[in-house]
Structure 1
Amino acid sequence: MRIKVLALSLIGCCSAMAWAQQKEPTKPAETEVYEPVPPKVRVNEKGIPSDAIVLFDGSNLDAWMSGRDGDAAQWTLNADGSMTVKDKAGDIRTRQEFGSVQLHIEWKSPAEVQRKGQNRGNSGIFLQDRYEVQVLDNNNNDTYVNGQVGSIYKQAIPLAMASKPSGEWNTYDIIYHAPVFGKLGEVIQKGSLTVIHNGVLIQDHFELLGTTEYIGWPKNKPHGKGAIRLQDHRDNSRVSYRNIWVRELE
Structure 2
Amino acid sequence: MKKKFTLIMYFLTFSAVFSQENTTSKPEDTEVWSPKPPIVIPSNESRAPSDAIVLLDGSSLSKWESTKDASGPKWILNSDSSMTILPGTGSIQTKEKFGDVQLHIEWKSPIELEKTGQNRGNSGVFLQKRYEVQVLDNNSNDTYSNGQVASIYKQSIPLAMASNKTGEWNSYDIIFHAPKFDPQGNRIKKGTITVLHNGILVQDHYELEGTTEYIGQPKKVAHGEDSLELQDHGSEVSYRNIWLRKLNE
Instruction: State the 4+ residue runs in structure 1 displaced beyond 6 angstroms.
Output: none
Q: Does 1:243 align with 2:245?
A: no
Which residue in the other structure is 1:12 paired with?
A: none
Counterpart in 2 of 1:81?
81
In structure 2, what is the Cα distance between the partners aligned to 1:81 and 1:106?
A: 11
Secondary structure at the aligned position of 2:146 is classed as helix
- Shift of the 216–44 alpha-carbon distance from structure 1 to 2, 3 Å rule, reads closer
Unaligned runs of 5+ in 2: 1-20
Mapped to 1, the partners of 2:42 and 2:112 lie a distance apart of 35
Q: Which residue of 2 aligns with 1:219?
A: 219
> How much has 1:43 moved relative to structure 2?
2.4
| Structure 1 residues 26-65: aligned runs within 5 Å | 26-45=25-44, 46-65=46-65
- Is 1:161 aligned to 2:161, yes or no? yes
Q: How does 1:76-115 map to 2 (within 5 A)?
A: 76-115=76-115
> Structure 1 CA distance, aligned partners of 2:32 and 2:42?
26
* Secondary structure at 1:30 match in 2: helix
**Which deviations, in whole Å up to 9, do the C-alpha atoms of 1:149-189 show, x marking residues without a partner?**
00000000000000001000000000000111112211111
* Contact 2:112–2:120 (CA under 8 A) maintained in structure 1: no
RMSD across aligned positions (CA): 1.5
Partner of 1:151: 151
Distance (Å, rounded) in 2 between the aligned partners of 1:174 and 1:63: 19
Which AA in structure 2 matches 1:31?
A: T
SS in structure 2 opposite 1:146? helix
The answer for the alignment partner of 1:170 in structure 2 is 170
Q: What residue is the counterpart of 1:201 in the other structure?
A: 201
Identity, in percent, stands at: 62
The separation in 2 between residues aligned to 1:44 and 1:225, in whole angstroms, is 26
Alpha-carbon distance, 1:112 to partner: 4.0
The one-character-per-residue Cα deviations of 1:47-80 (angstroms, maximum 9, x if unpaired) are 4100000000011100000011121011011111
CA distance in 2 between counterparts of 1:29 and 1:49 reads: 33
Q: Could you tell me how far 1:28 is from its partner in structure 2? A: 2.5
* Alignment check: 8 A CA contact 1:178 1:191 kept: yes
Partner-residue secondary structure (3-state), 2:29: helix
**Paired positions, count:** 226
Instruction: Determine the C-alpha separation between the residues in 2 that align with 1:122 and 1:161.
Output: 16
Counterpart residue identity of residue 91, structure 2:
D
Kept after mapping to 2: 8 A contact 1:99/1:248 = yes
The structure number with the bigger radius of gyration is: 2
Distance 1:112 1:156 in 2: 26
